[in-house]
Amino acid sequence: MKGLSTDEILSIGLKLADMAEVPLDSGIHVPGEYIKRFILAMDVNVGLLHMAKQMGFDAVVGHHPCGVLLQRGEVYRRHIDLLEMYCIPRGKSMAALSESIDTIVRRMENNRFRMLHHECPNQTVLEVDAARMLNLPFMNIHNPFDEAGRRILQLKIDAAASKNPHWKLKDVLALIENLPEARYAKDVYGISPRLFIGDPETEASKVVFVHGALSAPHPAIIKFYWQNGFKTVVVLHGEFENLEKLRMEKQGNLILTGHFLGDSLGLTPFIRAIRQRGLEVACMGGIIDIQGYE
């Protein structure tokens, strides 16, 4: 087996999400060919790159963006696309959220422009520089995996709701807890999904998984879903202060999957596809490898 190039590995990720173009939060930073074994990690730092080189891996593939992707924040605008996908009129969403989303996008770009380490740990230009000096192919794939994961869980949610329209919040939570990725996250990391806002015995009503737009939705976006018929919102995580404000307001229900579990939903098909091509992939740093947990 001659292995795959970084272009071919990226193409596999894009295909899983039905994407024709590389999103602004993903990219090949140090290209390479003949890759037969690589490390797949949630975040990549210089130490991990050195370890990969010393252990004879051919490449490192990260999930989260690294520092060279200045325009990554533009992907956050995809929250408007998701709202439209869930049948909320685009004009209505833009009128309510465009200003706050613009501010968040500008803040993200400013952080990248400033390149202060405390604003972006493990997401600096050091990783790319080190990979280049080590002659180690390095890339990251972010939004394609997030979008693939969003589709996977939303399809499961919709299928369960169609069978039991009056299902309760405890049923939604159980659906997520029974995923192989969730069992792994609990056994290995001690982290389980949680019902953050809501009574387990309350009807879930319409449930939406908000994921695949660079980062977790701002509280204004969550409340907008609540105000437009989605009584239960599922997200990966949120900043503590934002979550506490939502808890105090109690306008709807909120379920948190946890970061590793939520991100890994879209990584599972990629890992499976890579192994089917004969490559070896070692998962680290929060990437859940469910082989043996299915």
In whole angstroms, how far apart are CA 99 and each of 94, 187, 249? Answer: 8, 42, 22
Structure token pair of residue 211: 């994921």
| 235/57 Cα distance (integer angstroms) | 34
Output the CA angle 217-62-215, nearest 5 degrees. 5
Dmax of the chain from CA atoms? 58
> pLDDT, tens digit, for every residue of 41-80?
999 999 999 999 999 999 999 999 987 888 999 999 999 9
Of 233, 236, 275, nearest to 254 (Cα)? Answer: 233
Amino acid at 45: N
Structure token pair of residue 257: 């999957």
> Does the pLDDT value for residue 150 go beyond 90?
yes
> Does the pLDDT value for residue 119 go beyond 70?
no
Amino acid at 28: I
| 108/156 Cα distance (integer angstroms) | 32
Of 272, 60, 40, nearest to 152 (Cα)? Answer: 272
> Does the pLDDT value for residue 294 go beyond 90?
no
- How would you class 129 by CB atoms within 10 Å of its CB: exposed for 0-12, middle for 13-18, buried for 19 or more? middle
> pLDDT, tens digit, for every residue of 236-257?
999 999 999 999 998 999 999 9
| 69/193 Cα distance (integer angstroms) | 31
Structural domains present in the chain: 6-72+112-143+263-284 (3.40.1390.30), 145-262 (3.40.1390)
Label the pairing between strands 194-197 and 253-256: antiparallel
Give the pLDDT confidence score for residue 124 in this predicted structure: 75
Average pLDDT over residues 183-202: 97
Structure token pair of residue 262: 């939520």
Give the pLDDT confidence score for residue 111 in this predicted structure: 83
Give the pLDDT confidence score for residue 290 in this predicted structure: 94
The 3-class SS string of 12-78 reads HHHHHCCCCCCCCCCEEEECCCCECEEEEECCCCHHHHHHHHHCCCCEEEECCCCCCCCCHHHHHHH
> Does the pLDDT value for residue 174 go beyond 70?
yes
Residue 234: strand pairing partners:
209, 255
In whole angstroms, how far apart are CA 136 and each of 12, 34, 265? Answer: 20, 12, 27
Give the pLDDT confidence score for residue 161 in this predicted structure: 98
Q: 29: pLDDT confidence band, cut at 50, 70 and 90?
A: very high
> Which residues make Cβ contacts (< 8 Å) with residue 266, sequence separation at least 6?
16, 17, 144, 145, 146, 147, 148, 149, 150, 152
Give the pLDDT confidence score for residue 118 in this predicted structure: 64
Cβ 286 vs Cβ 44: under 8 Å:
no
In whole angstroms, how far apart are CA 198 and each of 172, 202, 236, 252? Answer: 12, 7, 16, 7
Cβ 254 vs Cβ 222: under 8 Å:
yes
